[in-house]
Amino acid sequence: MTDQPPLEATAVDLSVTLGRLSLKNPILVASGTFGYAREMLPFVNLAELGGIVPKTVTDQPRAGNPTPRIVETASGMLNAIGLDNDGLDYFLANHLPWLRTVGTSIFVNIAGEDIDQFVEMAAKVGREPGVAALELNVSCPNVSHGLDLGVDPTLIRSLVERVRYVCPHPIVAKLTPNVTDIVGTARAAYEGGADAVSLVNTFKGMAVNWRKRKPILANDIGGLSGPAIKPLALRMVWDVSRALPKLPIIGIGGISSMNDVFEFLVAGASAVQIGTATFADPSVSGRLVEQLRETLLSEGLQSVRELIGTLKSNKS
């Protein structure tokens, strides 16, 4: 009888695919929570991550919204940063060259004021080497135009179709949860040619100082993230995965532990993005990569792909 190798010696395949996009593992960091990644060098081995999504860039530099623009809430955080960034040209000339050297997949996240501007920006990014994917932010609740595109399936489909025409990189649509039918907007992105969707961006919310009779945020409203939104995000991932089984999903929303990661994977996500948890623990994303391998071994699994989409309804 041939001796079996010990469990610890068994190779574990952490790689995942999302349409045309291949990642070394499913642990990504979310836009707006990881800066331009240089800031995180003391805390995370960037090369171990499945991918990095730097902060959203707009066509022109933005100072963002006035302060206060972040407030902690029960089990979450409200932010109204307002897409503070250096602008696309500066990003491509100064940040992207360094990001190409860090040893993992780089997603460029862009936000335009209308479809034409999205297309112009996508064309610029499309000419750049060393970009794994283009993530379209059509879902930021903290700028005046932030939800115009993201709540209209017709506009989402048109945007993705036009962007795909000018940009050869895989396209990921980051969708808003602030709609009555997340499947409808995801379907529009899929029909437009998106390689994947990111589910979900923040939920519109507010915090109030009742003594002053004023909202706490200078912008009045902000985007809610963190553990408070995880059950909602999980439900949306599951809804979309069941309705559109061929559309790869990147799950986002309150992920801070390996159990959270696995819950999103079995619900139908092929990868996840770590966001608000990074503020509390800047090293969390790197630690999750290490724990992913260990947990798969302990469960007797040889590939992370064995988990994806395996959730079964109690009603079936």
Instruction: Quick: pLDDT tens for 95-138.
Output: 999 999 999 999 999 999 999 999 999 999 999 999 999 999 99
pLDDT value at residue 140: 72
pLDDT value at residue 4: 45
Q: Among 209, 210, 208, 184, which Cα is nearest to 197's?
A: 184
Q: Per-residue pLDDT for 142 more than 90?
A: no
* Domain spans of the chain, in order of start: 7-64+84-203+226-306
Write out the H or E segment, with its range, that includes residue 91. Answer: none
Dihedral of alpha carbons 35, 38, 44, 49, sign: positive
Cα gap 247→214, rounded to integer Å: 42
pLDDT value at residue 270: 98
Query: 18, 83, 106, 140: which one is catalytic?
Result: 140
Count of Cβ atoms closer than 10 Å to residue 14 Cβ: 17
Phi then psi for residue 74, to 5 deg, are: -60, 115
pLDDT value at residue 144: 53
Cα gap 189→172, rounded to integer Å: 9
Q: Which CATH class is domain 7-64+84-203+226-306?
A: alpha beta
pLDDT value at residue 149: 82
Instruction: Write out the two tokens for 228.
Output: 């408070």
Helix residue ranges, H only, 224-283: 230-243, 258-267, 277-280
Instruction: Write out the two tokens for 23.
Output: 């990642």
Exposure on the CB side of residue 71, measured as CA atoms within 13 A? 20
Is residue 167 part of the annotated active site? The answer reads no
Q: Which residue has the higher pLDDT, 141 or 248?
A: 248
CB-CB contact of 301 with 292 (8 Å): no
Map residue 37 onto helix, strand or coil. coil
DSSP-assigned beta bridge partners for residue 109: 135
Q: Among 90, 88, 84, which Cα is nearest to 35's?
A: 84
Count of Cβ atoms closer than 10 Å to residue 301 Cβ: 15
